[in-house]
Amino acid sequence: MHDTVYAFDADTPQAALWSISLGAPVTISPGVRVGIMSTPVIDTASKTLFVVALANEAGASVFRLHALNLLTGAELANVIVQGAVAGTGDDSQTTTCTSGNGEPVQPPCIPLAPPRTAA
């Protein structure tokens, strides 16, 4: 939950092979920080580990998909995760949303909204 990924050799008791910080986790209330919440996925063919981290970037909460080299932890790429669907609900808005491929979604629409940072 603190936006750090560690790699261990499961066959030997030793320190981490590598670790990488993916940013500052989001503080959603005093003492509660949220970062990586999902299980990372490994593509064995390309030796790439994919992980989504929630990070505080310049005061804004952002979901970001990171591609890491499985052997070294080096970041290969990252993209902001965004999306929206047409519809109404608690979080619907009356202004245009942005879909996952960057196309506009006309209102009413519901955007993927990361949790806000605590004031």
Q: Kindly report the average pLDDT of the chain as a whole number.
A: 93
Please state the domain extents for the chain.
Answer: 4-81, 83-114
Per-residue pLDDT band at 118 (split at 50, 70, 90) = low
Where are any strands of DSSP class E within the chain?
4-7, 18-21, 26-29, 32-34, 41-43, 48-57, 60-69, 75-80, 84-86, 97-98, 104-105, 109-111
Interval 23-31 mean pLDDT? 91
Give per-residue pLDDT as tens, 32-46.
999 998 999 999 999
